[in-house]
């Protein structure tokens, strides 16, 4: 053993030790990241899954023509404008005959969601032969009862801390004992827009808003960004000016998104007089934000196409434009599409710039065009989070789940495209 | 494919430059009025056959700024406010052509100071609140001169209060709640010092500056226009005190409890009778020129001012609004029907 091997052997143990500490640190990093993710996902799913079902109460509704059509006119308009609340009340009083005072009756009636009056009206006008017959309905309960039913620990709270009074809880338990309470699929959550009543609020309005907004974003940002990327990478001379533009595009990608919102407010609303709260404007603002992302992705994937392809095309007599459109661009499309989808999913999760252009608003009607007022998914989550009523807690979590689902879908789509079409040189 | 993309983007750009017809009421303004206005809007949308109005929660100041920007469909029709419009804002409005507006008072709101249920029971006076939160506090017992607020603990302000650091979570300056809090709590506490009161006669501007400013050195934490966030911060920190509207207190009684101010709890009767000192009125303002253009404005105002909504048994009362006396409500219902022009001269300059 000479001197050198002795020195090496001596330090070997120490070096091996630091090697294993290094590995351990890395492993710890990964484990803590994963456990945070699991905790977050677990708590969101745990809360959010409650919103997919809702408490329903079975009542026998008698479509009394004396109430719905006192003049016996038989006119549909008369029946449409009748007071369906009275039917629900009659059915509840049938079950609880000893509820007499007006206040108690009102408290009892508050058990059923006010949206059910419209549903009963629809059922009857669709099938008028139901008049003067009795039918069993599963009616949606109001949010307060729904919250109590989903969080049984709240039953033990003191009366003033609980959402419903002891009397109301008693009524609810009576119905439960009679097997008149169940959980049913919460269809409204997937078909309605915002509401002030948690049991009537849904995510669909903001899903449509997000769809219209992203459609505009894609239409504007994709062609402009690809054109800009191709020009800068393939056609533009490399000089100080193009270098300056390059640096600025890279800087733009790092600009906080709220700045684009301010720009949208100043130009699209104040100068161009486009309407407030419209997905068109939201899409334009988000397009500005997405442009640099797609330009950078385009340039990177154009760069990845080997020069031999271009040289071969030019050698065969193709023009610069033919080279680009026939060979280089198609070959780089997988990379460009991946970049675009990533940019789009970024835009889907964005809410700050939309605050400036009025898309953070209470909107009850589901938007049907690019000019209808609308919100987007992350904004809807924010709005629900800042509402006082207890029933919105689970809606917020469920909204997060819907947003996450869309993001995962888009990102896995990007991964699939990359895996399937990407060429390795 | 390329062609369709091109034409579609051209169409999208082609929209620009023209003004848009709008058949939906647009409302901006106070986050305190927001929960009430949304309920009215939803009912209005369901029952009237008009589209449901769009409501943004921008804060009273932010709302009036947008409202006063001008006439035309790109500007909002109605703004909610948790304080009265200021003379300065009326001037700004008329500068932009918005001269004909109607003022509607919808009810009262108490500003509650509350802490987590786990926290200590507090009894504050207006003077305590002023000394704890003002930017400058009197340097001598009479209040003739001021010094930057040195107090860090509640018991330095008033020996009867607990030996705990002053942490108050409240709304930012764009909020009407903050304006009202400055005026109703801080300024009134300030007036308790004779020297400060005398200053009002001598130099009104300096008085306003010194008696309505909240400290910026840490103990007052601004929480944004989101009252739910304040509640959550209070639950997380039982030593902190929050400032927010009565309706939020009412909805969150399982999490927070109110402090007495000048010996009175912020309860329904005490606020509506004016016994609770920190209470203010809630308003909305209508742009009368829009009422003829945008369908449904008059009907929306009628729905909001109806006894069914804001009367003593109204559906907004169950949401935490404190109703006006019946004669006042009838007066504003009439004003809403005829769109009575608001006279800016009644405001203090």
Residues of chain A contacting B28 with CB distance shorter than 8 Å? 358
Residues of chain B contacting A222 with CB distance shorter than 8 Å? 5
A199-223, pLDDT tens digit by residue? 999 999 999 999 999 999 999 999 9
**For residue B156, what pLDDT is reported?**
86
Q: Region A267-284: what's the mean pLDDT?
A: 90
Q: Region B197-208: what's the mean pLDDT?
A: 80
**CB B64 within 8 Å of CB B79:** yes
Does the pLDDT at position B6 exceed 60? Answer: no
Does the pLDDT at position A38 exceed 90? Answer: yes
**For residue B205, what pLDDT is reported?**
80
- What is the crossing angle of helices B297-305 and B34-48, to 10°? 120
A366-390, pLDDT tens digit by residue? 999 898 899 999 999 999 988 877 8
**For residue B4, what pLDDT is reported?**
54
Q: Region A242-258: what's the mean pLDDT?
A: 90
The number of helices, as runs of H, and strands, as runs of E, in chain A is 19, 4
**For residue B184, what pLDDT is reported?**
85
Cα–Cα distance between B44 and B83 in angstroms, integer? 24
Q: Region B22-51: what's the mean pLDDT?
A: 89
Cα–Cα distance between B147 and A1 in angstroms, integer? 80
* Alpha-carbon torsion, ordered B156, B157, B161, B165, to 10 deg: -60
Domain A204-421, CATH 1.10.3720.10 — does that match?
yes
Task: Give φ, ψ of B148 to 5 degrees.
Answer: -60, 140
B299 close to A (CB below 8 A): no
Does the pLDDT at position B18 exceed 70? Answer: no
Closest chain B C-alpha to A364 CA, distance in angstroms: 6
* Cβ separation B9–A223 shorter than 8 A: yes
Task: Give φ, ψ of B101 to 5 degrees.
Answer: -125, 160
**For residue B3, what pLDDT is reported?**
52
**For residue B254, what pLDDT is reported?**
79
**For residue B348, what pLDDT is reported?**
67
- Which tokens in the block code for residue A295? 């330009």
Averaged pLDDT score across all residues of chain B:
84
B215-270, pLDDT tens digit by residue? 888 889 888 767 778 888 888 888 899 998 887 887 788 788 888 888 888 888 88
**CB A170 within 8 Å of CB A164:** no
Residues of chain A contacting B41 with CB distance shorter than 8 Å? 362, 364
Spell out the domains of chain B, with CATH numbers in brackets.
20-108+281-346 (3.40.190.10), 110-279 (3.40.190.10)
Does the pLDDT at position B14 exceed 50? Answer: no
B48 close to A (CB below 8 A): no
Residues of chain B contacting A283 with CB distance shorter than 8 Å? 12
* Cβ separation A364–B248 shorter than 8 A: no
Residues of chain B contacting A225 with CB distance shorter than 8 Å? none
Averaged pLDDT score across all residues of chain A:
90
Short-list B133, B118, B82, CA closest to B261: B133
Q: Region A183-187: what's the mean pLDDT?
A: 92
Closest CB from B20, B35, B42 relative to A364: B42
Exposure class string for A69-93: b at 16+ Cβ within 10 A, else e = beeeeeeeeebeebebeebbbebbe
A395-406, pLDDT tens digit by residue? 999 999 999 999
User: Residue holding tokens 């009002």?
Assistant: B200
**For residue A396, what pLDDT is reported?**
94
A310-330, pLDDT tens digit by residue? 999 999 999 998 999 999 999
**For residue B15, what pLDDT is reported?**
45
* Cβ separation A388–B76 shorter than 8 A: no
Q: Where are the domains of chain A?
A: 53-186, 204-421
Closest CB from B22, B55, B254 relative to A361: B55
Please give the residue of chain A at the shortest CA–CA distance from B257. A161
B44-93, pLDDT tens digit by residue? 988 888 999 999 988 899 999 999 998 888 889 999 998 889 899 999 99
* Cβ separation B5–A362 shorter than 8 A: no
A58-97, pLDDT tens digit by residue? 998 888 888 888 777 777 777 777 788 888 888 898 888 8
Task: Tell me what ipTM this predicted complex has.
Answer: 0.79
More confident residue, B210 or A36: A36
């Amino acid at each position: 053993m000479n001197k050198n091997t002795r020195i090496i052997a001596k330090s070997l143990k120490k070096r091996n030790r630091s090697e294993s500490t290094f590995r351990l640190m890395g492993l710890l990093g990964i484990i803590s990241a994963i456990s945070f993710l699991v905790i977050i996902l677990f708590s969101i799913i745990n809360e959010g899954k409650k919103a997919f079902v809702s408490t329903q109460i079975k009542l026998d509704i008698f479509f009394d023509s004396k109430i719905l059509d006192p003049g016996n006119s038989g006119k549909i308009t008369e029946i449409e404008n009748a007071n369906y609340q009275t039917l629900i009340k009659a059915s509840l009083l049938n079950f609880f005959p000893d509820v007499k005072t007006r206040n108690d009756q009102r408290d009892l009636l508050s058990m059923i969601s006010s949206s059910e009056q419209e549903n009963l009206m629809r059922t009857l006008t669709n099938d008028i032969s139901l008049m003067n017959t009795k039918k069993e309905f599963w009616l949606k309960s109001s949010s307060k009862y729904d919250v109590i039913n989903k969080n049984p620990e709240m039953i033990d709270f003191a009366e003033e801390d609980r959402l419903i009074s002891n009397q109301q809880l008693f009524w609810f338990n009576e119905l439960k004992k009679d097997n008149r309470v169940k959980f049913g699929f919460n269809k409204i959550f997937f078909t309605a827009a915002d509401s002030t009543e948690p049991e009537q609020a849904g995510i669909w309005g903001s899903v449509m808003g997000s769809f219209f907004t992203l459609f505009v974003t894609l239409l504007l940002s994709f062609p402009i960004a690809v054109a800009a990327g191709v020009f800068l990478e393939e056609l533009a001379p490399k000089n100080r000016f193009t270098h300056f533009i390059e640096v600025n595009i890279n800087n733009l990608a790092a600009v906080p998104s709220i700045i684009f919102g301010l720009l949208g407010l100043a130009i699209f609303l104040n100068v161009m007089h486009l309407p407030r709260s419209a997905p068109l404007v939201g899409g334009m603002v988000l397009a500005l934000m997405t442009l640099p992302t797609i330009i950078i992705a385009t340039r990177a994937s154009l760069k990845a196409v080997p020069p031999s392809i271009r040289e071969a095309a030019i050698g065969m007599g193709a023009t610069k434009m033919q080279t680009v459109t026939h060979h280089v661009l198609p070959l780089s499309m997988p990379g460009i599409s991946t970049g675009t989808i990533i940019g789009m999913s970024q835009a889907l999760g964005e809410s700050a710039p939309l605050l400036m252009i009025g898309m953070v608003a209470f909107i009850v009607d589901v938007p049907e065009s690019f000019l209808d007022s609308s919100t987007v998914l992350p904004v809807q989550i924010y709005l629900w989070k800042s509402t006082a009523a207890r029933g919105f807690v689970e809606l917020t979590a469920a909204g997060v789940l819907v947003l996450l689902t869309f993001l995962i879908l888009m990102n896995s789509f990007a991964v699939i495209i990359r895996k399937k079409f990407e060429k390795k040189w | 494919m390329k062609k369709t993309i091109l034409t579609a983007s051209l169409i999208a750009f082609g929209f620009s430059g023209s003004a848009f017809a709008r058949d939906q009421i647009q409302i901006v303004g106070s986050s305190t009025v927001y929960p009430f206005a949304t309920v009215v809007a939803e009912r209005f949308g369901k029952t009237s056959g008009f589209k449901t109005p769009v409501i943004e929660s921008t804060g009273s100041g932010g709302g009036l700024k947008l409202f006063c920007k001008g006439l035309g469909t790109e500007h909002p029709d109605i703004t909610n406010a948790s304080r009265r419009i200021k003379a300065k804002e009326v001037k700004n409005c008329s500068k932009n052509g918005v001269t004909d507006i109607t003022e509607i008072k919808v009810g009262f709101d108490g500003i509650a100071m509350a802490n987590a249920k786990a926290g200590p029971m507090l009894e504050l006076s207006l003077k305590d609140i002023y000394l704890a939160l003002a930017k400058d506090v009197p340097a001598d017992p009479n209040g003739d001169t001021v010094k930057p607020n040195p107090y860090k603990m509640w018991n330095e302000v008033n020996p009867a209060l607990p030996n705990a650091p002053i942490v108050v979570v409240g709304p930012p300056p764009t909020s009407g709640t903050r304006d009202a809090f400055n005026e109703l709590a801080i300024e009134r506490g300030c007036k308790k010092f004779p020297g400060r009161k005398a200053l009002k006669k001598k130099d009104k501007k300096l008085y306003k500056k010194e008696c309505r400013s909240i400290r910026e050195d840490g103990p007052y934490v601004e929480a944004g226009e989101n009252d739910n966030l304040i509640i959550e911060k209070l639950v997380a920190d039982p030593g902190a005190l929050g400032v927010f509207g009565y309706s939020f207190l009412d909805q969150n009684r399982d999490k927070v409890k109110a402090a007495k101010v000048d010996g009175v709890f912020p309860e329904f009767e005490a606020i509506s009778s004016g016994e609770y000192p920190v209470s203010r009125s809630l308003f909305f303002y209508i742009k009368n020129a829009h009422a003829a253009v945008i369908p449904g404005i008059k009907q929306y105002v009628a729905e909001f001012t109806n006894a069914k909504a804001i009367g003593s048994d109204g559906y907004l009362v169950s949401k935490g609004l404190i109703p006006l006396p019946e004669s006042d409500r009838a007066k504003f219902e009439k004003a809403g029907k005829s769109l009575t022009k608001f006279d800016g001269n009644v405001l203090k300059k």
